Each structure stands twice: as C-alpha cells, then as structure tokens.
C-alpha cells in the first residue's frame, strides 16, 4: 500500500491524505480503521466522476486504482470478474478480443468534465450505474451486475450475488449497490454478465423532424419488432457537434440496428419503408454509426459547450418533447434526446440554481433530473439528485444508515444525509 | 424445517384482532372459518402446511396500508400471498400471522402503447398481461411455467424467470416500477414509466425479496413487440456432454437464442410417453433451441446452429417447419414436470444454477448420488443460463422416503454451490432452501443481507421464517464491532 499526503505548508492544516491500497485486504484494513476512528473517506477510482454529486468533505481519499486486474473471464459462460479499480478500457479491450462487450454501453464521462478519455474504472462505472444508448434494449449497468465483493460502513468485507445470471438466492444486493455512488459500500470486486458484440451495425437517420414528430417516429420504431438498439433525436444545433450528423445540416433522428449483416439490412429496409415517408433519410454504416453513437453516449454536444451546466433527465419517453420544450422556453436551455425520448441531456446557464427549480417542476414526481455538471458552489446549494417524496427519502436514509451507520463512505455525496 | 415459535399472546388475542381487521376490511374480506382457511394452508410446496391465524383480502392500497400499520402496532406477523404458486414455500402461513392475500388486486390499470409499458395491480396473472397486449403485437417477456396462474406481484417477490431469460431477462430486468406498502403502513413509489432510479435502486432490492420487505400494490412492466418469427430445433446427442458442448459453442459463436433447454434420458422418455412430442428415444441428451427475431436472421441462425450441433456430434436434428411443430417441440419440455409425475408417485423439484461448463461433472455426480440415495432423478435444464431442475422421484407413502429425497436434494444444491453456482435460480429460497443459506454465504454475507431488512421492517414482522435460517435483532446487527486504538497501517508512512 502506498500513502501520500496532499502538500501542506508548515503550520497549515493538512489536506486530505490519499491512501492507495494494492490489495483487497489492504482496502479492508483501511476501511476498518476509518470506521473505528470515525474518519470519513472519499472513494476514488479513475477520478473521472469526482465532480459529480455534492462535494464530499472527507479527510481521507481512498484511491482504488491500485486494486486492478481481471480475475475471471469465461467468454463461453458470458461472465467476467475484475477488481473495482480495473480500468474500463482494459476490460473493454479484453472483451473486444473475443468479440464480446458490455451491452449496457457505459459512457466515458472524462471529457465532459474536462478530463482525459479512457481513464475510468469498473468500480466507478458500476457505482454510477452508467448506461449508454443501448440501455433501452439491453438494460442498464445494474442489469448486468451479477455479484460483488465489498466493504461496508461496518468495516466488514463480504460478498453478495454470484457469477451466474439466474440467481434468486437472497436479496439482490449487487444491484442495490450499483448506482449508490459509493455511499453504501466500497466495492472491491464486481462480476458482470457480458454479451456477444454485434457483427454489424447500421443507423438510419431521419432528417429535419421537429421534436414531437421525431419522438413519435422513434416510438413507432421501438414499437416495431425490428429490435432497435439506439433511438436518439438531436435538434439541428445539437447535431452540429456530432460526427455523421453534423454533415446533414438539419435535425437528426437516429435509429440504430445491430446484429448479423443480413438481418440488419432486412430490418433497416422495413424501417425505412415505414418511416421514410415522413422525412428525408440517410444511413451510417459500421464505424460511422459507431462514432455517432459514441458521441451521443459521451454527451459530445456539451463537451463542446463547457460553459453550460448539464442535466440528465429521465422521463417517460413521450413526455420528452414537452419537458425539453418547456425548459427551452423558460430557461433558454438546449438539449437532445436519447432512449427514444426518455433521456434528455439538457444544458442550462450555470448561474443561480442552474435552472433547478424549473427543471424539477417540469419533471415533477414522474421521473428524475440529476445536475450532472455544475460549479461546486451550485452543487453544494442545489440538490444534485432528484428530491424524493418524504417516505421514500426516509427509507433511503435508513438504507444508508443500515450499511454505513457512522457516515464514513462518501458522506454527503447524494444528499445532505447520504 | 422449523418455523418461528407462535406467539401465545397473539394467539390469545385472535378474536380481538379479527374484530380490528374487520373494521379495516369489511365483509367477506376477512376469513376466519377453518374450512375456508384451509385453502390457504400451503402454496406450491404441498409438503409444508400451516393454518394461518386469519386471512385478509384487501382490495385497495389504503386497506393494505391500514392492515399493515395495525399489525405493526399490534406486533402481529404478516405473510403476503399472490396466487400461492411458490415452489419454495414463500407463502407458507404462520399460526400466529395474518395471511394477506392480494387476489382482489386483479385489474389492469393502464396500457401505454407509446411508452411500451403496462400498469397493473399485483394480482393480475403473468399471462394476463401478455393476453391484454397481444392484439397489438406485444407481450410480457418473463414466462414462468406457472404463468397461467401466477401473479405479477408474486413474480416481483420471487424475481421469476422462465425459458426466455437468457435473451430477455428475469422479472427484475422487465419491471419499471412498483407502488409498495411498508410494514409501518407507509406507501412508497419506486420507479415508474421512466428508466433507472433517482436514488438508491430500491426497486432492484425489492424484486426477489420474497415478501420480506414490503407488500407490492401496483406494478409497471415494460412490454416488448413480439418477434417477427420464431423457429425451433430439436437436437439429439449420444451424451449430455455433447449437448453441453453445443450450448457453449452456440454462445461462443455470438448467438443468444430466445430459449435453449436440455433434457436428459429419463426426462426425454417421461415427456415422450406423456405428450408424444416425437422426441428421439435413442439419445442421452436432447436440446431444444429456439431462435426468434426477423425472418432473415432466424433462417440464417437456424442453419448456423444446426452446423454447430453436427460438429458437436448431434445424431438427430429436426427444424420446426410450422408454428404447430414448434409448439409440439415445446409441449414435451413444458409438461416435463407432470410427465415425471407419471413415472413416480411424487417428486421434488430442485432449482440450482451452475456455470454451464460444470454440467457434465454435476450430472455424473448426480448419477452417483442417485445410486447412493436409492432414488431416481430426471433432469430438465435451462441450458442457456445454467439453471438445473433435477426432479427427484420418491414415494411419500413409504416411511422415510421424503427425508431421503430431501437429503438427496440438499446434496445436489450443495454441489451446485461447490462448482461456483447458487442454491436457487428462480424458485426462491423460501422455507425450502432456507437452512442451506449458510452453505452458500458466510455469516457476514448473510448479516449484510439481513441488514437490508432492518431498513424496511426493523421488527421483523413481514414474512419471518423465510429466506434466513436465523433471525437476528436489528439492534444487534446495527452495533459496530470495532476495536479502537490500534495503530493503523504500520507499513505506511504517517502524516
């Protein structure tokens, strides 16, 4: 284990100490000590998501990047286990060599936060439940997490779940810990379901549709049996920053099809026939299609607009255009849609509450809005995660209390109490 | 199998409790007559029986909330029940507990075609959802074999599977939201028509929690457009290993079939005698592979799978040429349980999951165990996801045979854990596998599961005696066991 100290002047209070365990046993040892001494710790992997959530006030930073390595990969069993600090890039490359993938298509949030691409870790991806455009077909990160090893706020190392897909033995804790932003347990190892990578992909583009017509077209596509694996709509200004869309000079509505080449060609033909009457069409094949969806996934339009605060809004798909329309009118916000209209990436003016009051009012109780990127002062003052109804908020607080009774793990990351 | 000792004080207050419950749920919604209570004394596991203190059949969320709040305050245990098809005793009543039946929650509340989801009450049957949306080409994907009878509320409690899980997921992957009442009567909504959770993913924790965390009063599920076409292959192998190899190679080729089921020789023969599906009788392993999707894709993949099967030594291959023939292929597999019931007076159905590659080893060991225990076993197997259903044949009328069958079953499940698998793939722990939990989990693993219960039901009144072999008090599990004053990390520099 290595341990470093943030430089401090003589006599000045010291900054957070950084502890970098090299083994699970060392991580356990550090956390046992932290619990015993009531020393809050910030859990960090690649650090790409440190600017998400409420700022964590902790005297110690526990750096998991030393805890790395794939411990199990059996392609014919569709399963992979790796230490929490394993770079996602390493996992994706390992899978790609066997023509497999993480079907939930995790985004790379690095560039959105002004950091390099390709540095996030498995633990970070799982703790944030990051899922990309294929989420509508393949499920979220949580749907692919089969098991884990972790240290809770009791300072105890334990395992949950397993390595097989079909498993109802006890509570599904690994899914609960997915998306908990490191506030319940510190993950040390994660076991994932992996899937074959599609042999081929093609994206059908419909050009020049307004938002309402676009979401309706995406809905028709998603209601068809053609196994749509991506459904996004970018108004013209947003499309301008996306490879494959920028060239069109218009709003772009995109439908991705994946699979065996003859199947993709067949389905694309049927969809074009069904939807092509409504707008001009174009197509992106193979690598061009992949580049387009990577940009949608990684929120490229707002990587190019660093001055904007960024919201991630999840609503019922058909509500998408009304919510974005209202916020565009009220806040001068701009944004685009993924997940057939159900996911809105929204850019607002970061001044004041970054539009929080208006955003939360527009979303209401049916859906949620996360203030993903904003200056630290705004994230301190404004609830970053969508406020919950009182009974649910109280239940969530009890879940936090049961796993981390001394508030050691990423204290305050999600709400003032969580 | 022991259940928590009935609370004499609660038993003594039966009349008073019934009166209070009648004030919440009037009329026929409170059942107290012994003859009527008998209908609720067991679920799908007939070997376990217990008369409940009283049965309450609420019809609104408000009533559920009031019943739970009342029981919470009175310290009375509650066992929730859907259709009572559990194969693990999840709905087994308690002598001193209220059985909360959800059968009156049987309405479909909303079909939202545009957002591709359906909002239903929990007493709607699994198949009822598909039936309601089939006319517009949709269906609900998880299809447990009890789907005619089992309810969606029970599916949420058990995280039910079916034969299409490999491609389309389990209940947990297809539920978007629930309304749920906590033991203290509070009503919470988790999820909805939108995707993912805004905070902790409590929906994931609740799905498969076997009625220990709350009572679900409304469920939102996603529905899928029906695949354009589906065709099946029937593949026979001289050894089960050959079939197992074929499954591995199909997946290695990047193919995820809609369904992939295997049967061993005893199961093949039982099924063929029972429904005459035309199964080959001179093979040791029979694989049914179903491919669904666009016609062009299915045609391409059928040829591909047949080629792989031949390479793995298949001696028999037949492709369904009509919808009728495809259904005939499945008829044998789907009636495997009753078919096996024909060859032995009684059977125990096990439900372990193993890593697929361990199949030959597990089957060999099972043959050896079968001889050792002196009981026959037939195997049906969700080959795609490694979920085994060994059916142990016994005769309940012969003294000691049920105990022998249970011991055989426990040996099989322990073996599943030994090879890296789990005790239950889709039937749940319930009371049936409860006492085996410590074989799969260390004490600290189980403690961390039980701590979740403390956040939802700290007094342990909801469905106690299920899933966990030992009940710990939440106060005890909440206590931190720490040793202060040690010098941490002697090997690293201190600042």
* Tens of pLDDT, residues B177-233: 999 999 999 999 999 999 998 899 999 999 999 999 999 999 999 999 999 999 999
**Closest residue in A to B114 (Cα–Cα):** A219
Chain B closest-CA separation from residue A249 CA (Å): 29
Torsional sign, CA A137, A143, A146, A147: positive
Out of A32, A163, A196, whose CB is closest to B254? Answer: A196
Fold adopted by A300-381: Alpha-Beta Plaits (3.30.70)
| CB–CB contact B193 A366 (8 Å) | yes
- What class has domain A200-297? alpha beta
- Chain A residues with CB under 8 Å of B204 CB are 142, 172, 175-176, 178
Chain B closest-CA separation from residue A352 CA (Å): 23
- Chain B residues with CB under 8 Å of A173 CB are 205, 448-449, 452
DSSP strands (E only) in A6-144:
17-20, 41-44, 60-63, 70-74, 79-83, 100-101
Please state, rounded to an integer, the average pLDDT across all residues of chain B.
93
The answer to whether B169 contacts chain A (CB < 8 Å) is yes
- Chain A residues with CB under 8 Å of B114 CB are 219, 223, 317-318
Write the CA distances from A238 to A334, A402, B197, integer angstroms.
Answer: 8, 44, 26
Tell me the domains of chain B and their CATH numbers.
Answer: 108-225 (3.30.465.10), 229-337 (3.30.70.3450), 345-428 (3.30.70.2740)
Asked if residues B456 and A11 have their Cβ atoms less than 8 Å apart, the reply is no
The answer to whether B188 contacts chain A (CB < 8 Å) is yes
Regions of chain A where pLDDT drops below 50: 7-13
- Per-residue model confidence (pLDDT) at position B483: 54
Chain A closest-CA separation from residue B194 CA (Å): 4
Q: What value does the mean pLDDT take over residues B343-365?
A: 91
Pairing type for strands A41-44 and A60-63 reads parallel
| CB–CB contact A168 B427 (8 Å) | yes
User: In 10 A of CB A181, how many CB atoms?
Assistant: 25
Say yes or no: do domains A200-297 and A300-381 share a fold. yes
Q: Which two tokens stand for residue A256?
A: 């991705």
Out of B196, B254, B357, whose CB is closest to A140? Answer: B196
- Per-residue model confidence (pLDDT) at position A195: 96
Pairing type for strands B97-101 and B54-56 reads parallel
Q: Which two tokens stand for residue A393?
A: 């908020």
**Closest residue in B to A28 (Cα–Cα):** B489
ipTM exceeding 0.90, yes/no: yes
What pairs with residue A378 in β-bridges?
none
* Tens of pLDDT, residues B24-70: 999 999 999 999 999 999 999 888 999 999 999 999 999 999 999 99
Q: Which of A128, A131, A126, A106 minimizes the C-alpha distance to A117?
A: A106
**Closest residue in A to B356 (Cα–Cα):** A77
- Chain A residues with CB under 8 Å of B488 CB are 29-30, 33, 37
Chain A closest-CA separation from residue B13 CA (Å): 31
Q: Taking the domains of chain A in order of start, what are their residue ranges?
A: 1-197+388-418, 200-297, 300-381
- Per-residue model confidence (pLDDT) at position B481: 63
Q: What value does the mean pLDDT take over residues B334-342?
A: 87
- Per-residue model confidence (pLDDT) at position A14: 58
Torsional sign, CA B130, B132, B133, B136: positive
A401-A403-A408-A413 Cα dihedral, nearest 10 degrees: -70
- Tell me A121's DSSP state: B
Rounded CA-CA distance A231/A224 in Å is 13
| CB–CB contact B202 A267 (8 Å) | no
Q: Which residue out of A28, A129, A149, A170 would a mutagenesis test of the B interface target, given it has the greatest number of B Cβ atoms within 10 Å?
A: A170
Rounded CA-CA distance B225/B485 in Å is 62
Report helix, strand or coil for A110.
coil
Q: Which residue out of A169, A187, A399 would a mutagenesis test of the B interface target, given it has the greatest number of B Cβ atoms within 10 Å?
A: A169
Rounded CA-CA distance B75/B17 in Å is 11
| CB–CB contact A143 B198 (8 Å) | no
- Chain A residues with CB under 8 Å of B481 CB are 154
Half-sphere exposure of residue A11: CA atoms within 13 angstroms, side-chain side: 0
Rounded CA-CA distance B156/B170 in Å is 10
| CB–CB contact A78 B478 (8 Å) | no
- Per-residue model confidence (pLDDT) at position B387: 94
Fold adopted by A1-197+388-418: 3.30.465
Asked if residues B299 and A263 have their Cβ atoms less than 8 Å apart, the reply is no
Rounded CA-CA distance A155/A148 in Å is 16
Q: Which two tokens stand for residue A307?
A: 């001055």
| CB–CB contact A227 B294 (8 Å) | yes
- Per-residue model confidence (pLDDT) at position A9: 45
> Quick one: three-class SS letters along B334-368?
HCHHHHHHHHCCEEEECCCECCHHHHHHHHHHHHH
Q: What value does the mean pLDDT take over residues B90-115?
A: 97
**Closest residue in B to A159 (Cα–Cα):** B445
**Closest residue in A to B136 (Cα–Cα):** A223
- Per-residue model confidence (pLDDT) at position B494: 32
- Chain A residues with CB under 8 Å of B201 CB are 129, 142, 175-176, 178-180
- Per-residue model confidence (pLDDT) at position A417: 81
Q: Which residue out of A5, A23, A150, A168 would a mutagenesis test of the B interface target, given it has the greatest number of B Cβ atoms within 10 Å?
A: A168
| CB–CB contact B192 A367 (8 Å) | yes
* Tens of pLDDT, residues A57-66: 899 999 999 9
- Per-residue model confidence (pLDDT) at position B492: 41
Asked if residues A372 and A352 have their Cβ atoms less than 8 Å apart, the reply is no
**Which band of pLDDT confidence, cut at 50, 70 and 90, is reported for residue B482?**
low
What pairs with residue A152 in β-bridges?
A185
The answer to whether B107 contacts chain A (CB < 8 Å) is no
């Amino acid at each position: 284990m290595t341990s470093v100290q943030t430089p401090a002047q003589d006599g000045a209070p010291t900054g957070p100490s950084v502890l970098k365990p090299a083994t699970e046993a060392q991580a356990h040892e550090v956390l046992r000590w932290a619990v015993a001494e009531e020393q809050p710790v910030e859990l960090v992997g690649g650090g790409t998501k440190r600017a998400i959530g409420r700022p964590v006030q902790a005297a110690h930073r526990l750096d998991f990047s030393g805890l790395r390595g794939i411990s199990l990969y059996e392609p014919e069993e569709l399963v992979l286990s790796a230490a929490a600090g394993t770079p996602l890039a390493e996992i994706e490359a390992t899978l790609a060599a066997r023509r497999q993938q993480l079907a939930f298509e995790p985004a790379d949030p690095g560039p959105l936060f002004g950091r390099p691409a390709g540095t996030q870790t498995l633990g970070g991806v799982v703790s944030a439940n990051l899922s990309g455009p294929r989420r509508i077909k393949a499920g979220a990160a949580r749907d692919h997490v089969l098991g884990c090893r972790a240290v809770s706020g009791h300072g105890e190392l334990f395992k949950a779940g397993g390595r097989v897909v079909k498993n109802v033995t006890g509570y599904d804790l690994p899914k609960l810990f997915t998306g908990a932003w490191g506030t319940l347990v510190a993950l040390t190892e994660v076991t994932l379901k992996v899937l074959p990578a599609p042999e081929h992909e093609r994206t059908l583009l419909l050009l020049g549709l307004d938002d309402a017509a676009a979401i309706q077209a995406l809905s028709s596509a998603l209601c068809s049996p053609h196994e749509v694996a991506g459904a996004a709509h970018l108004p013209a200004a947003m499309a301008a920053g996306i490879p494959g869309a920028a060239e069109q000079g218009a709003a772009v509505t995109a439908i991705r099809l994946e699979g065996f080449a003859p199947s993709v060609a067949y389905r694309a033909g049927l969809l074009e026939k069904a939807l092509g009457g409504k707008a001009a069409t174009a197509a992106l094949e193979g690598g061009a299609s992949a580049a387009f969806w990577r940009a949608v996934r990684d929120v490229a339009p707002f990587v190019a607009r660093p001055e904007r605060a960024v919201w991630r809004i999840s609503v019922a798909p058909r509500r998408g255009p009304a919510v974005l329309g209202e916020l565009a009118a009220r806040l001068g916000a701009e944004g685009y849609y993924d997940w057939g209209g159900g996911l809105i990436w929204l850019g607002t003016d970061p001044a004041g509450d970054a539009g929080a009051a208006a955003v939360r009012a527009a979303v209401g109780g049916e859906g949620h809005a996360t203030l993903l990127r904003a200056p630290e002062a705004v994230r301190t003052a404004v609830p970053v995660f969508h406020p919950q109804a009182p009974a649910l908020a109280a239940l969530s607080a009890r879940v936090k209390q049961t796993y981390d009774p001394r508030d050691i793990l990423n204290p305050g990351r999600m709400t003032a109490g969580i | 199998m022991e259940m928590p000792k009935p609370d004499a004080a609660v038993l003594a207050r039966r009349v008073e409790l019934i009166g209070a419950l009648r004030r919440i749920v009037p009329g026929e919604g409170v059942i107290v007559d012994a003859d009527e209570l008998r209908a609720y004394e067991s679920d799908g596991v007939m070997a376990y029986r217990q008369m409940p203190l009283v049965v309450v059949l609420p019809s609104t969320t408000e009533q559920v909330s009031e019943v739970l709040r009342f029981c919470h305050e009175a310290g009375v245990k509650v066992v929730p029940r859907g259709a009572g098809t559990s194969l693990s005793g999840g709905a087994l009543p308690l002598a001193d507990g209220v059985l909360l039946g959800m059968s009156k929650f049987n309405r479909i509340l909303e079909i939202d075609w545009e957002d591709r989801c359906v909002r239903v009450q929990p007493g709607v049957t699994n198949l009822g959802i598909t039936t309601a949306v089939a006319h517009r080409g949709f269906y609900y994907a998880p299809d447990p074999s009890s789907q005619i009878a089992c309810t969606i509320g029970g599916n949420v409690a058990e995280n039910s599977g079916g034969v299409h899980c490999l491609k389309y997921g389990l209940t947990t992957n297809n539920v978007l939201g629930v309304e749920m009442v906590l033991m203290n009567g509070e009503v919470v909504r988790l999820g909805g028509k939108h995707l993912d959770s805004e905070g902790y993913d409590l929906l994931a924790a609740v799905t498969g929690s076997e009625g220990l965390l709350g009572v679900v009063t409304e469920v939102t599920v996603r529905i899928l457009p029906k695949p354009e076409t589906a065709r099946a292959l029937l593949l026979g192998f001289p050894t089960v290993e050959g079939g197992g190899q074929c499954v591995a190679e199909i997946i290695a080729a990047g193919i995820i079939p809609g369904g992939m089921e295997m049967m061993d020789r005893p199961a093949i023969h039982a099924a063929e005698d029972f429904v005459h599906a035309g199964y080959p009788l001179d093979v040791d392993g029979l694989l049914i592979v179903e491919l669904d999707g666009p016609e062009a894709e299915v045609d391409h993949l059928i040829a591909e799978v047949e080629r792989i099967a031949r390479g793995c030594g298949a001696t028999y291959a037949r492709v369904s040429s009509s919808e009728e023939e495809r259904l005939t292929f499945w008829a044998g597999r789907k009636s495997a349980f009753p078919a096996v019931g024909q060859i032995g007076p009684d059977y125990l159905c096990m439900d372990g999951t193993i890593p697929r590659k361990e199949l030959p080893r597990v089957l060999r060991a099972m043959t050896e165990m079968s001889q050792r225990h002196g009981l026959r076993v037939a195997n049906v197997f969700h080959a795609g996801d490694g979920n085994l259903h060994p059916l142990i044949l016994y005769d309940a009328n012969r003294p000691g045979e049920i105990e022998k069958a249970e011991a055989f079953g426990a040996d099989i499940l322990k073996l599943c854990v030994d090879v890296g698998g789990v005790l239950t793939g889709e039937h749940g722990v319930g009371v049936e596998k409860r006492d085996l939990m410590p074989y799969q989990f260390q004490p600290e693993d189980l403690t961390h599961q039980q701590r979740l219960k403390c956040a939802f039901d700290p007094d342990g009144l909801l469905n106690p005696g299920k899933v966990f072999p030992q009940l710990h008090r939440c106060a005890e599990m909440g206590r931190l066991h720490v040793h202060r004053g040690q010098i941490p990390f002697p090997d690293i520099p201190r600042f």
